[in-house]
Amino acid sequence: MATTRFFPSAISRPYASVTRDRHIWTKAKCRAKLLLLEALITVAPFLAASTMGFLEHLDELRRRLILSIISLGVAFGICFTFAEGIFLFLMGPLRSALPEGASLIATSVPEVFLLYMKMAFFAAIFVASPFVLTQVWLFISPGLHEHEKSIAVPFVFFGTFFFLVGAAFAHYVVFPYSAKFLVNFGGEHVVIMLSVAAVFSFYSKFVLGMGLVFEIPTLVFALSKLRIVTSSFLWKNFKYGILIIFSVAAVITPTGDPVTLCLVAVPMTALYLLSIGIAWMFGPARGVV
């Protein structure tokens, strides 16, 4: 009877590889748990500092949400009266990027009316943003100490400023260049006839996404003043930050082309580096280690 030979080296290699992968995965899970524990330990004093109970927090959240919705409704009513001017302003960069002979079309009877309503609501978000940010701060502030409440005015001011800067960057830079690149890709073989509703959907994702992304410095400023994040933490996790940046850029970018992705990811990287400097200036610890 033939005997089967046993080769321990042939089996030990995959076994060692699996063991090593499990060890790496276990270390990664432990690190994630430690980071979560550190965050909870840091935030716990601020939650404990509040004199409000759980139901009172829910009631306060409801009140702030209602006031924010009312402000959006008022801003929407004002913006709808200027809907045609808003349309010309929002579609201006696209119309200048379109090749000769291209046009914007409506494919249904109520499309233009619904588009004007969407654009009015879109503009209302920017008009009401200072008031909404104020409501966010008023909801957070009961859990803070008196000296920590001094960042309320900078939080609202810089939050509004960076949100508008991000929207302007998307409107004047990212949207025109990406639209020009995409519509001219077919050359003379394709006649460009764009649905105005589809174009606005494409545009609004860009602008709102970039507006929210540009809030990173404001968020880091508030968290560093509250001693939740430090410049050293942001610097040590820079490689993870880059991974998250490109993931977020891929989500908020309506297209999958690398040009548009880089137009979004590069400014986000610059904002992350700016946030490290902000955390160094206003955080509890000086210097990046």
Q: Consecutive sets of 10 residues in the chain, 289 residues long: mean pLDDT of each?
A: 48 51 62 61 51 72 91 94 90 75 78 90 89 84 70 80 88 82 68 80 84 88 83 88 86 72 85 89 58
Supply the Cα-derived Rg of the chain in whole angstroms.
Answer: 25
pTM listed for this prediction: 0.65
Report the candidate in 69, 180, 80 with the shortest Cα–Cα distance to residue 131.
69
Residues in the chain: 289
Secondary structure (3-state) at 39: helix
pLDDT at 288: 41
pLDDT at 289: 39
pLDDT at 192: 72
Number of other residues whose CB lies within 10 A of the CB of residue 175: 24
